[in-house]
Chain A
């Protein structure tokens, strides 16, 4: 016999699980980006109060006591994991059918756990204790159990041989939703059965088999068998996930990082040994520290609320197995993010993955070892701050200096290298030099002029290779205007950048993102100021929205 656990309104229940007080309230789960959020899922109470899936947030204003929550995939994952845990605590054979649906084999459990009815009730009770309300169905085969759990509320027990009779009352939609993931395919079947007037599984089961096969093919016959509860199959048993966790309870709380590092090192070595024994590496490390000195409700004597645990997670770019590297990474991370309280207990979890297998080419440049690279990056991030190290990727916008930072991940060796293209400027220069024969008398004149210009340009090119060195952070400036042009400026933080402006080019105006809250508008001037070393070129910018001036950079 098999039992199926099905959690109706799973998305909503996953949220309510962590907020039990919401159980008596109508709850709507939203998805989408503000201001266009809409209802993705509801609990039964919300459905009864007339709310529909797809309603927008502002349409929900009419329901005063409605509780709105944003969809949380992590909470769904946790709820599902808890469901699996629960199922596995009853039976060793568990199938992870879909999100919120689990089937377990009850064969041989009766002597240990009591009659099937009791097992089902116990399951239901256990799940309720976890904060979820489930439909439980027990039947002779997994698919009948699944159909019954999806179609009947509460606990259902179908005696062997009476599947067709019990399932017969279920709508055909339950069958199609249970066995077709693709909406389009399910819709096709629903349409066909609707035309035929087949609305219950009983009617579907009653159709003669051969004519059904002639009309709907083998998928139709299979659906019929499912409707009769006749299909027997083995469970796709979930392999218990290998969990690589090490924990240490400390006799005395640790305050300093050094002894902690010593402890972590030991744990890492253990972990690496375990992983190595199974030919695995670590893809992610999760360090959880239980903080000591907290009262049971998480409050210190001062009354200030502090978290009871401190967690850091290191996601590695590729699976690694080097305890030293792990230790260094964790050390750097803890230096940047100290726990802030004495530590009473340490848990270290490694997420296993298959190790990286790569053979470098003989003629390919040496590629940095990922472990070292990751370490270096972590060190840099430790110095410059989190989120400030990585590969720069320019954004497609007119906004100056607009870029995003991605985790630095150099191309794998062997990937095609782009052939260096001649620059446009070089091409242009070649073009200037290779003029066609003249047709107009003015050709020569233009060429002469261009020759001169090219000479200039060649010098300009040296100058044109001029780079703009950005001041980071930018330098605020005080600017005096005359006829809307800057004539004098000074930077309060850099006394050397000040003086009469002897030359200007501009203004260069740009603005954008007006449809977003973070719209921008700026006016740039290229200016020259006399200095002891001669003229110095700066880029002076006014933010048109705030009116502030600043020096963005200097030209070499």
Chain B
């Protein structure tokens, strides 16, 4: 027998080429009973390794290769030195080696985690982390040390000082870890140098009476992955395969070898093989024994956590259901009692209290917070204020959230406004549970097509231009057909796959797919722990100061039973919050999101018209196509609307039956009479995950936990075997209930088809609340809502330019950026011509303008207005030339030029805004009717324009010397001509990404008319089936995975948005055009049914409208 005790996975980031699961699969095939994973400076891959091994019934040993600075020779570490930050001397830096450590016991594992955490957290930015001998003395208990391969301590010492130094190094290890805990490692990869090292190692082992241990220093599972490992090595050293030379491996022997092969390789040292089994039996620790404990919530004396929770729940219930009818109150009380009993039984009171504490903190700090996900199924969560949806009133299924059988922590996600407020909540968690008690979860960045193509190209030495071309060609659409295969895309990039080198490149790209590249930080997942989290999993510094991140990602944490709280930043929450503040400041009204009118007719009529740009969750093209058919009339319709445009219902063909039934075009039927209670609300069509669970509970007598197990089994690709077992169980249950034949099949089909992607009702309900709030604010406070949306970009489905154009079509006046008025963010200004305030574009929309410069400008302006461009330049030295140029280019300096010195009449300047600039006057005559409001006397006068500003900026930024520095200069006329409409458009889009002037299509409308191109607003009045042409700016492209290869394109003109559907064959023929053109003309058949309008494209051609760089939001 043989056990491989020294292997790396791809989680050693560029030093291993196989996933932990692949290592285990090969290990299992080779008949090994155990294996150890020692990734570099971490246990990143250990959860996946552990779970795969558990499934394969293999003993998974955990350890790590820890980077060490060479031990100080001969120096005996004194206790006084403990805790000091070790500083590696230059010599030590050169002598770094990797010490392979295996966790023998839980204490050993905890020591390993602490050791790694310590070295990672003390390493400076961009400094390599390393451990010193002092660290091992402090954290050496329970660890078994190997002497390593070519990067190990023995090899390093041998290289540095010959056999004597190697002997000293091993002796030192024996002293630090105890002689019984050190194994002298032998590796044989058929190198002469390695054999020399083995001979020295054997002598040392004999002299120190240490056991020998055979390992293969595995870097990949099978020999074929050696090529990928070489490519990784080249990337790691920023070389190419051709220039990496001897950095690459000498041969491909570092794969998992069978016990028989290893016995043959070490035929002369059978004890080295036998010792692997002996050591494996000594390694008691596995990740089953993690020792994680969720923190206890501190409660007042005399209270237990459950009694405290009961009290808080009772208080909450009083406020939530105080005014409810008796029946609802009774049901709520019963449900809450049931939930509390289960919480007590599962000992989860502490968890609920901790989440409650977070929500309480948010409430006190006036931070909007709302629980989402399955927590909305819980009446206790509702009572505690964690969620905002009444699960009793909506009859939500509690088991989806928590069940006894499931044996795992419930999942509570909190939506918070993105940005500073979310950061405050995160910092509160750190402060409350300590720097070593809480951490963010990691996000493992893996190789996908594009990254693989780029990195492997680098390894093969492709030039930068080729790499760029490849990156551009590799498809990242959600839907992929045979034309999107990587080989096809590489061909599109001009690479000849028949060439052996390119073929090799292609193979490498495929091999790298899904392997981890590096560790990132999850956007909101936090884990907390009773005691020290760094005893459970090593912590690392995150790039953001004050944050630490665990070495496992969210899924791994869940798999290891570590409870997490997702503090998710939701742009819309921030936008809602900002809207409320703007409403308070400018409309002088107080809006309470918790008490919005429930059935506002304007909101529902707007939703029914699919006029939803900017609204949360209901603004996408697919949602817009569904809204006029679903015609929401009450809140539950919005819940359905949020859930229905999801892969589950679409793949499961649930959308059309539901909409037909809703429109009365199809009779409401049920797969089985017993399901009427479950499916009644959705007209006999299952739409939510909860319905799926209830269906299983009713038809097959599943318990709540079993039903949840069913969902999970179907929800994960890796659980296909489990899915089969559960499906059989489901069938057996139904058969017992005499649900047979076609009915059984139909139910099974509907459960399995969308279990994977189905949306939980509770989650939809939470989202629907936000969707309703966003719709309400947009309908009633458009200016505030638009400004808030613009201030919280990027978010949602559309670019800011589309949001601005949509708002303008709704009558909102959006004012151009102006350094005499704009703040950093978009603001509201009272309008002289409308009851509704106008939105003033904020300085943050000037590309390249840094926030400190913008803020300095606003600060200085508040002291005194700027007299000239020169004055601005002198008073705001933070502004760089490029920033000033950008501001001048987009007209933000125009108003400075119209200073009193040039136009002394104060009357002319009253209420001046960019309307008065010559540019606005010259926005093609007749386009801007509001010009009539400009004083007539200004019309004939040459006003300061963008090029005047550019002319002045160029002078102002050139230092004229001390003599002339104080000389005041008035911004005079420039010899430059004012920008044309086209030039202004180009400048606007280049420097802000949008224009507040007319839509580019408006300038060319006459020409478009001659070409027979209809406006978007005309389509509603045209008959279904008419052949026509539409044209406009491409604002969104989508190729969803569920749409059978169709591409959806949205074209915007000055009147609105027109949608087109492009079939796969047309897409294939016009791929480049459809993907790269900014303005398109599409000819096709109009489909105008049930107020849903789109064009089925038959011909596409480019439109030459403007050179402006308009942007499309493409969903990849």
Interface residues of A (CB under 8 A from B): 32, 34-36, 38, 54-59, 192, 195-198, 206-208, 211, 214-217, 395-398, 424, 427-429, 431-432, 434-436, 439-440, 442-443, 445-446, 449-450, 453, 505-512, 514-517, 521, 523
Contact = CB atoms under 8 A, between A and B. Distances in A.
Sorted nearest first, the 5 A-B pairs with minimum C-beta distance are A56-B494, A396-B245, A428-B162, A446-B207, A215-B954
A352 B246 CA distance: 44
A443 B204 CA distance: 10
18 contacts: A36-B463, A59-B494, A192-B954, A198-B976, A211-B975, A214-B960, A396-B246, A398-B248, A435-B164, A443-B207, A446-B167, A446-B208, A450-B167, A510-B251, A511-B251, A515-B460, A515-B501, A521-B251
Given A427-B162, A436-B168, A446-B167, A515 B494 contact: no
A215 B190 contact: no
Given A36-B462, A432-B162, A505-B195, 10 more contacts: A36-B463, A38-B465, A196-B947, A214-B955, A442-B207, A449-B207, A509-B251, A511-B251, A515-B501, A523-B190
A148 to B, nearest CB: 25
Given A58-B495, A431-B161, A445-B207, A440 B252 contact: no
A517 B462 CA distance: 16
Contact of A35 (B189, B501, B950): B501
Contacts of A521: 251
A35 B496 contact: yes
B510 interface: no
Contacts of A198: 976
Given A206-B975, A508-B190, A508-B191, A216 B250 contact: no
A184 B738 CA distance: 80
Contacts, number: 142
Contacts of B168: 436
Contacts of A398: 246, 248, 250-251
Contacts of A54: 465
Nearest to B978: A197
Contact of A431 (B162, B206, B248, B496): B162
B499 A34 contact: yes
Given A55-B494, A197-B979, A516 B501 contact: yes
Given A59-B494, A197-B947, A507-B190, A428 B250 contact: no
Contacts of A509: 189-190, 250-251, 253
Contacts of A396: 243, 245-246
B122 interface: no
A366 to B, nearest CB: 37
A431 B164 CA distance: 6
- Chain B CB within 10 Å, residue with most, of A55, A446, A449: A446
A35 B504 contact: no
Query: Chain B binding site: helix, strand, loop or mixed by DSSP?
Result: helix
A36 B207 contact: no
Contact of B494 (A57, A215, A432): A57
B241 A515 contact: yes
Contact of B209 (A442, A450, A505, A506): A442
Nearest to A432: B164
Interface string B247-261: 010111100000000
A427 B245 CA distance: 27
Nearest to B956: A215
Given A195-B889, A449-B206, A515-B241, A56 B495 contact: yes
Contacts of B662: none
A408 to B, nearest CB: 24
Contacts of B390: none
Nearest to A483: B264
A197 B983 contact: yes
A466 B466 CA distance: 49
A12 B347 CA distance: 81
A208 B495 contact: no
Interface residues of B, number: 62
B163 A514 contact: no
B41 interface: no
A505 B191 CA distance: 11
B970 interface: no
Interface in B461-486: 462-463, 465-466, 469
A512 B244 CA distance: 11
A494 B460 CA distance: 43
Contact of B951 (A34, A196, A428, A431): A196
A436 B227 CA distance: 45
A452 to B, nearest CB: 10
B432 interface: no
Contacts of A450: 163-164, 167, 203
Contact of B163 (A38, A55, A56, A431): A431
B163 A432 contact: yes
B501 A196 contact: no
Nearest to B161: A431
Nearest to B462: A36
Contacts of A196: 947, 950-951, 976
Contacts of B460: 515
A196 B987 CA distance: 11
B192 A195 contact: no
A58 B491 contact: yes
Contact of A512 (B248, B500, B501): B248
Nearest to B167: A446
A515 B171 contact: no
Given A36-B462, A440-B208, A446-B207, A211 B496 contact: no
Interface in B195-242: 195, 203-204, 206-209, 227, 230, 241-242
Contacts of A435: 164
A35 B460 CA distance: 12
Nearest to A196: B976
B489 to A, nearest CB: 13
Nearest to B977: A197
A514 B223 CA distance: 13
Nearest to B465: A54
Nearest to A457: B163
Nearest to B206: A449
B955 A211 contact: yes
A32 B207 contact: no
A345 B1056 CA distance: 84
A515 B504 contact: yes
A505 B501 CA distance: 36
Contact of A428 (B163, B171, B195): B163
Contact of B252 (A211, A434, A511): A511
Contacts of A59: 494
B958 interface: yes
- Chain B CB within 10 Å, residue with most, of A440, A508, A515: A515
A35 B499 contact: yes
Nearest to B243: A396
Given A196-B976, A440-B208, A453 B501 contact: no
B74 interface: yes
Nearest to A32: B463
Nearest to A395: B245
A52 B203 CA distance: 68
B495 A514 contact: no
Interface string B676-696: 000000000000000000000
Nearest to A60: B494
B433 to A, nearest CB: 45
B248 A517 contact: no
Nearest to B499: A35
A194 to B, nearest CB: 9
Nearest to A431: B162
A34 B466 CA distance: 13
B227 A514 contact: yes
B165 interface: yes
B950 to A, nearest CB: 5
A198 B504 CA distance: 50
B203 A446 contact: yes
A105 B254 CA distance: 72
Contact of B496 (A57, A424, A511, A512): A57
Contact of A397 (B203, B245, B253): B245
